[in-house]
Structure 1
């Protein structure tokens, strides 16, 4: 009887989802309500429900601001459509779901819940609920609101704090850019969108895709055809964002990858041959044939009045042509420029420190690392879209809470 009841419930949920999706203009709130059994919540009065609205577009889906009918709170609902078009994209979406459930860090976005999928014949989309963040760093940079030095320091500190955690879990994000850095009304920042993220490849002989990192934030080694790279690609992107926060404009903005590389060498100068070891042969030949350019790093001081000696010193450690010489997250967090950002964050913004009658109680570890590395062995043996589909459905339907999904293998 229990099994029959569950099947009837699943069929009703599937029918509700199908009807919601078929109706043109149906709100994401209706979809969110349809995918939960009625006994899970008391419906929120209609006058208390804010209108649904799209707030962002990621590599593999659209994010909506919706009201959770179970408690009336606003949440972010990510709709990932057409997730089974081909094997590569299916595996990437599956990997992103597993990462969303695995990560546990204040500055890294995580899933609160993955909605239970309908029967397999209707299973073409995935919905993920996460914390609602009001804006992102791109919107803030292009807005007219002032960005003080304190803002820049606390934002940069949080980016590096979250990235240190990801790297400690052996994960390369591979698409760090302002639009993937969510910010709430209290200036708390979270890294999001793991559609291009992957586990570190320790074998330097194994080729990695070059179709990563939005062009303006793409490091020179990838622009020059490197077949293998590491965490340093994320640090180059952080450097570009750091300069963008200071100057309120994109540092390297070109129409093509080749012109992107030209802008980089205009600033850094022509690199010596030993700094191009990871580049492909054609890129090295091209670079050596062009006229030699001297470095012009002094131009960084013209970004704005916030480009102090301390800021430019740190910026120059991010923007290094040779990835092996580029600063790491750990070393960047130890730079004196970020001391004030750390203090401000842990004085009133973080969840790891708290106030008592005796004063502020600070955590013993300001920048924690992952307790375990992300295991991508679940991808082993997956050779068809149907296998990915079955794995996703089984992982989610076992229990639609994040805790259970995280424990699945």
Structure 2
């Protein structure tokens, strides 16, 4: 079985730029870059995340187009420096097809001048937000494959005890073959098992924020990511934001219009003020039938899975593992592993050899015990500098920033990136049995 899926026209240009045209440079003093063609794509900004700016650049060592994320002003406070260190460690920890990971880290300057971090990751041509808002056709097959990959990557993160806390279409990168990767871990953290410990509510873009956070819960779980995926699922079906409100109070109103007024038990994680506010309002019945009007793709199976994700009580919300077992995703799983994944392969005889584990978990949980040992900005700075140096001991020629680059001034001062091009979405997906 094979699948033909294409979202983006054109591929990345090969070859490394000559002279001072590239932001990246090889740090080895006698390194000679390979011969390059003349039609090289220029370095340019492509986006920005919770705490960094991302540019599309060319790796001078092999001419490969990659993404360069700049994390500026890292050491302004203990909280911010530990957060950046956590994100950096996560990017180096991840080993999963549907989760973005670090390919390289740029060689840092001497510790006294160490202020910024530069991380290289794979470059993907688009993201799910650009695809959703485009006028191009989005088939039921696309939706199933995208949703399958989101949940597959999220299962890996949750098995490592990591909460992403900012799952939204713009943080789901997509390449020309429809392979999807979860990115931007600036707000991610390890799940807190102690429910007595408070967790910040300043997380998750409002449209995708779970009701327990909207209602002031001081502690929450991986269920907040599942709610966000449910919102994205509805957005894929309807090609519009499911709960688009002006403020958090109105956001909660839109949620209750669909789910109905929650019971006292459903609100047990909420703060007292939020519960009181909710009980003062006239009770509303659920109106799940409106989900069928999202589009012709909102079948009984789709709506059934969506309703299990959009549950007010986080303890009753479906888990990522159970969501992956839902029959709605059977076709998405089959299509993904038929020709898109790297965990399965086709033999010389044309037979597809499938992996024994379609949705692997992390080999071990992500360790955050090191954070408790760091009590000053200087400590974090020294440990991060040491960590990057250890990552660079791979035998590859290290990279550094090229201040002679034509784009260097723009890159050095960039805080908000320019919008990138809209992707070209294929009108159909083909499937043939083998």
Superposition TM-score, scaled by structure 1 size: 0.89
Measured after TM superposition, the shift of residue 49 of structure 1 is: 3.0
In the alignment, is residue 400 of structure 1 matched against residue 389 of structure 2?
no
Distance 1:33 1:242 in 2: 41
Q: 370, 375, 380: which one pairs with 1:383?
A: 375
Instruction: Say which of 83, 100, 108 aligns to 2:91.
Output: 100
SS state at 1:398 partner = helix
- For 1:256-279, what per-residue CA distance to the aligned partner results, in whole angstroms no more than 9, with x for missing partners? 100000000011010010100000
Q: Offset at 1:88?
A: 1.2
The answer to whether 1:264 aligns with 2:264 is no
Q: Is the 1:112–1:401 Cα contact (8 Å) retained in structure 2? A: no
Matched, 1:374 2:385: no
1:143 is matched with which residue?
A: 134
Compute the displacement of 1:31 (Å). 3.7
CA offsets per residue over residues 270-326 of structure 1, 9 Å max, x none? 001010000000000111111111111111011111111110000000000000000
> Structure 2 CA distance, aligned partners of 1:195 and 1:165?
18
Contact 1:157 1:338 in 2 (8 A): yes
Q: Deviations over 1:62-115 (max 9, x none)?
A: 111111001111111111111112111111110000000001000000001111
Distance 1:159 1:401 in 2: 32
Structure 1 position 359 matched with structure 2 position 351: yes
Alpha-carbon offset, residue 385 of structure 1? 1.4
Measured against aligned partners, the alpha-carbon deviations of 1:16-63 in whole angstroms (never above 9, x if no partner) come to xxxxxxxxxxx99744216x2244551554725320111111011111
Distance 1:123 1:56 in 2: 24
Unaligned runs of 5+ in 1: 1-26, 405-409
- Aligned to 2:115, the other structure's residue is in SS state coil
- Partners of 1:113 and 1:402 within 8 A in 2: no
8 Å Cα contact 1:41-1:69 kept in structure 2: no
| Greater percentage in helix | 1
- 1:136, distance to aligned residue in structure 2 (A): 0.4
Q: Give the deviation of 1:226 after TM superposition.
A: 0.2
**Structure 1 counterpart of 2:101:** 110
Secondary structure of the equivalent of 1:151? helix
The 3-state SS of whatever aligns with 1:379 is: helix
Query: 1:290 and 1:140 mapped to 2: Cα distance?
Result: 38
Question: Per-residue deviation at 1:120?
Answer: 2.3
Which of residues 203, 212, 226 is equivalent to 2:203? 212
Tell me what 2:56 maps to: 65
TM-score, normalization by structure 2: 0.84
Q: Deviations over 1:229-253 (max 9, x none)?
A: 0010000000000000010000001
1:22 aligned residue: none
Higher relative contact order (CA 8 A, sep 6+): 2
* Count of aligned pairs: 377
Distance in 1, Cα, partners of 2:72 & 2:289: 47
Moved more, 367-376 or 40-49: 40-49
**Separation in structure 1 between the aligned mates of residue 311 and residue 145 of structure 2, nearest angstrom:** 23
Q: Are 2:191 and 1:200 aligned?
A: yes
Query: Aligned pair in 2 of structure 1 residues 398, 358: CA closer, same or farther (>3 Å)?
Result: closer
- Determine if contact 1:28/1:66 at 8 Å carries over to the other structure: no
Residue among 120, 128, 148 paired with 1:129: 120
- When structure 1 is superposed on structure 2, of 183-192 and 85-94 the one drifting more is 85-94
1:33 maps onto 2:25 in alignment: yes
> Quick one: distance in 2 between partners of 1:124 and 1:393?
10
Asked whether the 8 Å contact 2:22–2:43 carries over to 1, the reply is: no
Gaps of 5+ in 2: 1-18, 397-434
Whole-angstrom distance in 1 between the partners of 2:394 and 2:144: 32
1:323 aligns with 2:302: no
Runs (4+) off by over 6 Å: none
Alignment RMSD (CA, Å): 1.7
